[in-house]
Structure 1
Amino acid sequence: MTRKTVRIAMNGVTGRMGYRQHLVRSILAIREQGGLDLGDGTVLWPEPVLVGRREHALKALAEQHGLDQANISTDLDAVLADETIDIYFDAQVTSAREEAIKKAIAAGKHIYTEKPTATGLDGALELARLAEAAGIKHGVVQDKLFLPGLLKLKRLIDGGFFGRILSIRGEFGYWVFEGDWQEAQRPSWNYRAEDGGGIVVDMFPHWEYVLHELFGRVKSVQALTATHIPQRWDEQGKPYDATADDAAYGIFELEGGTIAQINSSWAVRVNRDELVEFQVDGTEGSAVAGLRKCRVQHRSATPKPVWNPDIPATEVFRDQWQEVPDNAEFDNGFKAQWELFLKHIYADAPYHWDLLAGARGVQLAELGLKSAAEGSRLEVPEIAL
């Protein structure tokens, strides 16, 4: 076996997602398994170079995980000028992402990034076009496609379980503490529109790729947004006005006529089995898929519910569904996509979750906000480079 070291500039790893899912559970997990075997006698060994604004935080991370202190930097330009670095990864706040990716493209680095890729569609498309013109490879994190629950759901779709799919109903969210007497689980910038916050900007890019990949392209969107909690408290315990939406209620028409309804909220208490669930109803069967589990009810086993408000329900409706077995071992979704992207670069494996796919997510968020502001249903045009 030949070991090939791959140096990856990772910008934003002091944040919750960048640290937990991308550094620890992806890149460091690949190292812990001995690297990534390309199947041709080559093993990729990822070497993270930690980039950020707070040097002390970067040093602490490097020390905690036994990384070389020389591989930290607060100077992005210097890192991008380093010819030994092959890949630039971005998990910064959205408002800082676009400019940093432009610099990385200009430096000839392959790009892997969290979403949304930019604050608007024009910027997202520009990044995709610049990357294509530069001849580099590029990918966007679309982690929910790799969740066990959605992988099981895709298995059902590919096997024709549903017949003609009629509708999708999605419920996502949880109560994010206001920050006054319990510390908020999300950073305060998420609730300031001027800093790129808002649940539409955060979640509609997810719903775009989930719907697009599993069910079909989104043709139209109608959304209603709300700021249910108008005042919150920041990391220093100071009150601030929430200027961004913390809940969104969307209706999406898909190619082929399927209708999707998805509620997203940071102001809802959970009465579900999982934090996100999708119910898919088809002519031949239905399924409810979450992060890990998936339950089904086939046409042949559908009970006959009887509406009678005068007597208590005698059946437990959840017991009438069948659990879909794992039938496989599921790795962490972020790690699985990192491995696919690395194989795309170094083994030319197929990969289509690129910056253009990321731009579709930005487009849907932009149109969702416009729909809510205008009170209208908007067409979602196809975009191309």
Structure 2
Amino acid sequence: MTTNQRAVLTGAGAMSRKWLDAIKTVGGVDIVGIVDINPANAEARAAEQNINPEIGTDLKAMLDRLSPEIVFDVAIPAVRHGIVATALSAGAHVLSEKPMAETLDQARDLVARAEAAGRLHVVIQNRRYLAQLRRIRRLVASGAIGGITGVHCDFFLDPHFGGFREQMPHVLLLDMAVHTFDAARFVIDDAATSVYAEEWNPAGSWYERDASAFASFRFSQGAVMTYRGSWAAPGLRTSWESTWRITGTEGSILWDGADDIRAERAQPHVAGKLLPDTQVLEIPALDPADRIGGHLGVITDFLMATRGGPTPETVSRENIKSLAMVLGAIDSSTAGRRVEIII
């Protein structure tokens, strides 16, 4: 008879519902404890999920009592480092919300702690588990549009979250753009080496801090990524996944951030003709090996890894490369100049 894994969840806010639903879908996990600074939140979430965990406000004390194999970290970014460090010290595998840390020093420390403890620290980057991004990556990897020269992403929405996001510094870059940066790194299979960025808060914004940003990254193999975004942009909204144009030496890919993916390859130039003819490219189908499913996909891969499966691609030693893009953009915006990205 198989025994369920024991897990503690930290942070019982709105996002925890999605996590708990996915955990229940995968199965094989008992939530034995929920930690939240407001016990009423934890009690309400437990009642909603029809579970009966221990409720508390002190993670270390709960871990000492319950000795879970897993900690799910859905708390706010300001307390992430302490939660993950405490969980790893207690011998638990950890799945964290993004960003994985507030600083690169904190992130490096967590990577080192996970390796020293022989435990997994994995980060939720659910956008790269979208089927469309898997298909785009396959097309890029095939060489159909040649070497990648540019990735250009636009993100414009007007969400009224309430709560911590509307007071959070660098909110767009830290809480949202990290998804697009990580997805770009995944699609072109490269790492950023430098960035120039600006942040501002547009007139009429309901955010206390800068809700808009521009960033230009250079990657190690020569590609440039540009990002334009705002969380205070009413009307004509983009997808939550951004709209994308990927340019190559021989063609381009357009993605609306939803279901529409289009690609063309230029034909050999004919002397005397201004614009070469183009050929429409077929977008590859999903392969059975492609990891999809958003939150469910990430949580499935994490749980399978704790049971002896392969290491998830969003493990912290890899995800730090995406965090470095975000923090590099913040450093550039603060300094008013291009900065190098050093992991």
| Normalised-by-shorter TM-score class | 0.7 to 0.9
Pick the aligned partner of 1:339 from 300, 310, 313: 300
Q: Which residue of 2 aligns with 1:235?
A: none
Q: Quick one: distance in 1 between partners of 2:140 and 2:319? A: 24
CA spacing shift, 1:323–1:12, aligned 2, 3 Å: farther
Report matched runs for 1:301-316 at 5 Å.
Answer: none
CA spacing shift, 1:134–1:327, aligned 2, 3 Å: closer
Q: Kindly indicate whether the alpha-carbon contact (under 8 Å) linking 1:153 and 1:294 is maintained by their aligned counterparts in 2.
A: no
Q: Does residue 72 of structure 2 align to residue 89 of structure 1?
A: yes
Aligned partner of 1:18: which letter?
A: S
CA spacing shift, 1:53–1:272, aligned 2, 3 Å: closer
Q: Quick one: distance in 2 between partners of 1:73 and 1:366? A: 33
Q: Does residue 318 of structure 2 align to residue 357 of structure 1?
A: yes
Q: Quick one: distance in 1 between partners of 2:6 and 2:256? A: 35
Q: Does residue 20 of structure 2 align to residue 23 of structure 1?
A: yes
Q: Quick one: distance in 1 between partners of 2:10 and 2:143? A: 42
Q: Quick one: distance in 1 between partners of 2:181 and 2:238? A: 23
Shift of 1:247: 0.7
Report matched runs for 1:369-384 at 5 Å.
Answer: 369-381=330-342, 383=343
CA spacing shift, 1:158–1:82, aligned 2, 3 Å: farther
Q: Kindly indicate whether the alpha-carbon contact (under 8 Å) linking 2:71 and 2:92 is maintained by their aligned counterparts in 1.
A: yes
Q: Does residue 244 of structure 2 align to residue 278 of structure 1?
A: yes
CA spacing shift, 1:51–1:124, aligned 2, 3 Å: same
Q: Which residue of 2 aligns with 1:126?
A: 109
Shift of 1:56: 2.2
Shift of 1:349: 1.5
Shift of 1:266: 0.2
CA spacing shift, 1:273–1:366, aligned 2, 3 Å: closer
Q: Quick one: distance in 2 between partners of 1:279 and 1:148? A: 17
Aligned partner of 1:298: which letter?
A: E
Structure 1 unaligned spans of 5+? 36-44, 177-183, 233-241, 308-319
Shift of 1:359: 2.8
Q: Does residue 62 of structure 2 align to residue 79 of structure 1?
A: yes
Q: Kindly indicate whether the alpha-carbon contact (under 8 Å) linking 2:156 and 2:238 is maintained by their aligned counterparts in 1.
A: no
Aligned partner of 1:251: which letter?
A: S
Pick the aligned partner of 2:261 from 287, 295, 314: 295
Report matched runs for 1:208-223 at 5 Å.
Answer: 208-215=181-188, 216-223=190-197
Q: Which residue of 1 aligns with 2:271?
A: none
Q: Which residue of 2 aligns with 1:113?
A: 96
The SS at the match of 1:85 is coil
**Under a length normalisation based on structure 2, what TM-score does the superposition of the two structures give?**
0.86
CA spacing shift, 1:64–1:188, aligned 2, 3 Å: closer
Q: Quick one: distance in 1 between partners of 2:283 and 2:187? A: 17
Aligned partner of 2:163: which letter?
A: S
CA spacing shift, 1:228–1:321, aligned 2, 3 Å: farther
Q: Quick one: distance in 1 between partners of 2:267 and 2:260? A: 17
Report matched runs for 1:1-385 at 5 Å.
Answer: 2-15=1-14, 17-20=15-18, 22-24=19-21, 26-30=22-26, 35=27, 45-48=28-31, 49-68=33-52, 70-176=53-159, 184=160, 186-193=161-168, 198-215=171-188, 216-229=190-203, 232=206, 242-269=207-234, 271=236, 274-275=239-240, 276-299=242-265, 324=283, 327=286, 332-381=293-342, 383=343
Deviations 1:138-173 (A, max 9, x none): 211111110122111112122222212221110123
**Larger deviation: 138-147 or 321-330?**
321-330
Aligned partner of 1:188: which letter?
A: G
**Under a length normalisation based on structure 1, what TM-score does the superposition of the two structures give?**
0.77
Shift of 1:54: 2.2
Q: Quick one: distance in 2 between partners of 1:112 and 1:221? A: 28
Q: Quick one: distance in 2 between partners of 1:111 and 1:105? A: 7
Q: Quick one: distance in 2 between partners of 1:192 and 1:92? A: 16
CA spacing shift, 1:268–1:378, aligned 2, 3 Å: same
Q: Quick one: distance in 2 between partners of 1:6 and 1:197? A: 37
The Cα RMSD (Å) is 2.8
Shift of 1:110: 0.9
**Larger deviation: 336-345 or 271-280?**
271-280
Aligned residues: 330
Q: Kindly indicate whether the alpha-carbon contact (under 8 Å) linking 2:152 and 2:225 is maintained by their aligned counterparts in 1.
A: yes
Q: Quick one: distance in 2 between partners of 1:89 and 1:60? A: 18
Q: Kindly indicate whether the alpha-carbon contact (under 8 Å) linking 1:148 and 1:292 is maintained by their aligned counterparts in 2.
A: no
Q: Quick one: distance in 2 between partners of 1:118 and 1:380? A: 16
